[in-house]
Structure 1
Amino acid sequence: MATISSPGIGSGLDVQNIVSQLVAIEKAPLKQLETQATSFKTKLSVYGTIKSQVSALGDAAAKLSTSAGWNAVTSTSSNPSAVSVTAAAGAAATGLTLEVQQLARAQSTASTAVPTDSAMGGGTMTISLGTWSGGAFTAGTGTPVNITINPGQDTLTAIAARINEAGAGVSATVLRDASGERLLMRSSTTGEANGFRIEVAESGGAGLSRLAYDGSGAGMTQTRAAQNALATINGVAVVSATNRMTDTLPGLTVQLSQVTTAPVEIDVSIDPEGARKNIQTFIDAYNALTKTLADATRYDPTSKSAGALQGDGTAVGLQNALRSMMRSVTASSPFERLADVGIEAKSGGELSLNATKFDAALTTNYEGLRQLFTVANANPTSQGFGLKIRTFAQGLIDSDGVVSARSEAIQNALTRNGKEQDKVNDRAARAEVRLLAQYNAMDANVGRLSGLNAFVTQQIALWNKSTA
């Protein structure tokens, strides 16, 4: 911005104020542009909310469009402290009798006591995983792990740390009592195939052999043998390396915690409350979107205020399309309309759930209720409500969907508005420079004329005085 040191000093005019007012006239279009920009930003924000809510409605409908959304199950155990069961969605409804004869365990060993913090002899410990049977060890497919022990330096604490860092399939800790300290080792995983053998090759001092375990009784002592879990399901024997059976029964996870003395009854049944929850989520998502559209397109004659999208064709069209879709029919039977199962439209366009009607459908014709949302049909308008609304919602928010396109159009208009504001500000800045230069020149000229006038007046006064 160009300035002058003392504008108006020559002419006596308030040049700065005059220029400011003229520049304000140049900036007059900014007011309308700023108002438009605020409107664009508000619309863009509302469309962002609409897009998010359409996505939520699509997700809720998608959950109801497949059998998985209706196959929520509940599971119970007659003795959960001994056997607990978790059922995944889609697990078959069934009843089972389960007995536990043996729990899976990990192999454990303990060394003899040595003085606390005393250094052990050096050498190499080789740890192999495999199966013990009758005192004989059969190595598994894994590669044995060698651990080097420094003679006269490594204590049991240091050795335990080396074992834990080696990733050999076993864990180690040090137990201290009045006798000194012992090395305790345990398989990282339960099951007969995860037993372990420890071979020791001493070098640089004796003593490391006390940490060997080969099943002979020399070196470490086995405090617990590795074993599998043994159980019967409906009288059929099953074996598991762990107490958590995830693949034995499709869709069920069974946790064994105690050996049983009586059969445990397991019951898996369809959970209607899961479907009710999914339906309510769908209704809530639809109502949230409906309210946003209603508020955004509403005109209040009392306050004479309009919503951000009042008169917006895309918003009004979306509102009408949603209402029409909720009144449509499907190719399912015996329920064809949402109202048939108690999902009813209120006067404001939102949905409500008639609990009595819905519960009747839920308890007496669960399959018919499911078909109302999942039935597939060659005619898209006759598909189940889950399918048609999922497809409709996805089409709205895809990159070329109407909601995305409208948001992009508003964003483009906002960008153009910003460029127009920049142009106005640029013109005003150039006008201010030009006006200040012009008024500065005028002020200087007036100052020179005023000085000349004073000089001429002085000379005339002197001339008149000399001729008097």
Structure 2
Amino acid sequence: MTTISTPGIGSGLDINTIVSAYIDAQTVPFEARMEEKESTYTSQITGYGTMRNSVDALQSAIDTLTDTDNYGAMQVSMGSADYFSATIDTTATPGSFDIQVQQLAEAQKLTSGAFVADDPTGEGSLEISLGDSTFTIDVAADATLDDIKEAINDSDLNPGISASIVTDDDGAHLVLNSSQTGLTNQINITAYDATDTEIVDGTGLGKLQFDSSDVANSQMAETQAAQDAILVIDGSLTITNDSNTFEEAIEGVTFTVTDVHEDGDSTSITISENTAQLENAIKGFVDAYNSYLETSKSLQYTNVDAEITAALAGDATARMMDRQFRTVVSSVYGDSDFNSLTSIGITVNEDGYFDVDSDVLSDAVANNTDDLMTFFIGTDDEPGMGAKLQAQIEIYSGSDGILSTRVDTLTGQVERLDDERETFAERIETQEAQLYSKFNAMDATVAALNNTLSFVTSQLDNLPGVISNDD
């Protein structure tokens, strides 16, 4: 039998075209369906992601609105920031004060007499104290001033004294710096010889002796005396502190002093209620809610005439979320003067967005933060509007919320489309091979029949008495 090497050569049919047309008839509509599904899923994923970002922003605004620190919060203002900084906590109360910094706290600094750098300082030990903390270093017979420096700095019991060596024209000097300020943190050094006898004559290690209560008769020199910070309030109340931070001078206020006033000068401070902080939190909520509404509307928009359909048009999740949020913010809470958004100057306009009457809101914030706190946060028995909206938002936001779950589901559907394409491609490849096999078999059969016909015709033409029709 004749072998057909080119599809259709035996039968005269265009087998390649026939098979391609059959395959395209299945592939083209399949790919169209897949692309439509993928486009829909991808659009919805983007839509839910955009909605989730908007809801997360709204949640952040609600978190601020339900933060109790924003209700009755205090603020401090100063006539100048040149001499001190001031911070306040929730215990501060309104008031005005004149503050004078008379003295800054200083840390003590000591300098020894001159030593020959590489010579032994003398055998024994040094008992060193800083305030109530004491540590001892042992000094070997061949120890130098540098060895003493290292021993001081490396001691695990050192409460905060740093040692260094300064070399001038006279020789090497041991310099000790306290890391702690104030009169309660003074350095004292007692020197002992190898027999643990105190050295009082200034020889050997006795050159490093220092007594803060008798500086004039000490061996080391005090180049910076320890001193306390002094703060005077309203010209008559004096507070002394061993550091430059005053935490109890005025209840709820912490001062950190940085410079000293001239005699007779002072800086005024005023502590007042920070109504702007709460008002900004409420306006921040309004802005975030309006932004959420705008996002939600744009994602559900449909215009039949213009053939515009947004990503989440007709989506049940988006509609339910809108309805639930709207129910929470439009409800009445309690029976105080401020029991609804309308009562504090927040109304809904004809487009569904919030409008704020700043005068009404400012008056509410300035005069009754307790009722505002009850309205937004609620009580132990009944949550307020903000707390309820916060709980409702948590159902939809976050990695475990409904919006994230919908995104995960749609992402899985997109991935399954790839599996469908792969399965379809395998099936089409099999069908194509089967079609070529069948058509090629038919082609070979037709070719064989044509050959047989030609042979029979030729034989008949050669029989005696047979007259060809062509003659």
TM beyond 0.5:
yes
Structure 1 residues 62, 90: CA separation in 2 closer, same or farther (over 3 Å shift)? farther
User: Cα deviation per residue 1:420-439 (whole Å; 9 max; x = unaligned)?
Assistant: 54134313313313422541
Looking at structure 1, the residues matched to 113 and 19 of structure 2 have their Cα atoms a distance apart, in angstroms, of 99
Structure 1 partner of 2:176: 185
- Greater CA radius of gyration, 1 or 2? 2
Change over 3 Å in CA distance of 1:399–1:421 after alignment to 2:
closer
Cα deviations by residue, 1:240-270 (Å, 9 ceiling, x for unpaired):
2210123554532201234443455432111
What is the Cα deviation at residue 108 of structure 1? 0.9
Tell me what 1:419 maps to: 416
User: Aligned pairs, how many?
Assistant: 442
1:196 aligns with 2:187: yes
Report deviation, 1:63: 2.6
- SS at the partner of 2:334? coil
Q: Please tell me whether the aligned partners of residues 72 and 90 of structure 1 are also in contact (alpha carbons under 8 angstroms).
A: no
- 8 Å contact 1:74–1:268 — kept in the other structure? yes
Q: Which residue of 2 aligns with 1:8?
A: 7
Q: 1:20: Cα distance to partner? A: 4.7
SS of alignment partner, residue 311 of structure 1: coil
Rounded to whole Å, the distance in 2 between the matches of 1:252 and 1:7 is: 97
CA–CA distance in 1 between the matches of 2:204 and 2:26?
94
- TM-score, normalised relative to structure 1: 0.76
Task: Provide the rounded CA distance (Å) in 1 between the counterparts of 2:19 and 2:316.
Answer: 45
**What letter matches 2:210 in structure 1?**
D
Residue 266 of structure 1 pairs with residue 263 of structure 2: no
Q: Tell me which residue corresponds to 1:439.
A: 436
- Taking structure 1 as reference, are residues 176 and 418 closer, same or farther at Cα in structure 2, changes over 3 Å only? same
**Do the aligned partners of 1:200 and 1:209 also contact (CA within 8 Å) in 2?**
yes
Partner of 2:284: 281
| Cα distance, 1:341–1:462 mapped onto 2, change above 3 Å | same
Residue 125 of structure 2 contacts residue 138 of structure 2 at CA under 8 Å; is this kept in 1? yes
Aligned residue runs from structure 1 range 53-132, under 5 A: 53-78=54-79, 80-88=81-89, 91-112=92-113, 119=118, 121=120, 128-131=128-131
Gaps of 5+ in 2: 195-202, 467-471
Quote the residue 2:253 is aligned against: 252
SS in 2 for 1:81: coil
Q: Structure 1 residues 104 and 31 mapped into 2: Cα distance closer, same or farther (>3 Å)?
A: same
Structure 2 vs 1, CA of residues 249 and 19 (structure 1 numbering), >3 Å: closer, same or farther?
A: farther
In structure 1, what is the equivalent of residue 387 of structure 2?
Answer: 387
Q: Deviations over 1:300-332 (max 9, x none)?
A: 345220221111122122223333333322225
Partner of 1:134: none
In structure 2, the residue matched to 1:428 is 425
Tell me the distance in 1 between the aligned counterparts of 2:176 and 2:412.
69
Taking only the aligned residue pairs, the percentage that are identical comes to: 22
Query: 2:200 maps to which residue?
Result: none
- Say whether 1:327 aligns with 2:306: no
Distance 1:249 1:407 in 2: 50
Distance in structure 2 (CA, Å) of the matches to 1:23 and 1:354: 67
- What is the alpha-carbon distance in structure 2 between the residues aligned to residue 165 and residue 45 of structure 1? 61
Q: Provide the residue aligned with 2:295 in structure 1.
A: 292
Query: Secondary structure of the equivalent of 2:254?
Result: strand
Separation in structure 1 between the aligned mates of residue 142 and residue 207 of structure 2, nearest angstrom: 14
With over 3 angstroms needed to count, the CA separation of the structure-2 counterparts of 1:443 and 1:291, relative to structure 1, is same
- State whether residues 83 and 260 of structure 2, in contact with CA within 8 Å, keep that contact through their aligned partners in structure 1: yes
CA distance in 2, matches of 1:95, 1:225: 34
Cα distance in 2 for partners of 1:176, 1:419 equals: 79
Structure 1 unaligned spans of 5+ = 1-5, 132-138
Structure 1 CA distance, aligned partners of 2:221 and 2:21? 99
Amino acid at match of 2:51: I
Indicate how the Cα distance of structure 1 residues 61 and 406 shifts in structure 2: closer, same or farther if over 3 A, else same.
closer
- C-alpha displacement at 1:289, in angstroms? 0.9
Counterpart amino acid of residue 349 in structure 1: G
For residues 371-407 of structure 1, give each alpha carbon's deviation from its aligned partner in whole angstroms, at most 9, with x where no partner exists: 4434437455xx3x3333223323443787xxx3354
Specify whether residues 325 and 411 from structure 1 end up closer, same or farther in structure 2 by C-alpha distance, changes over 3 A only.
Answer: same
The separation in 1 between residues aligned to 2:13 and 2:185, in whole angstroms, is 100
Aligned position for 1:135: none
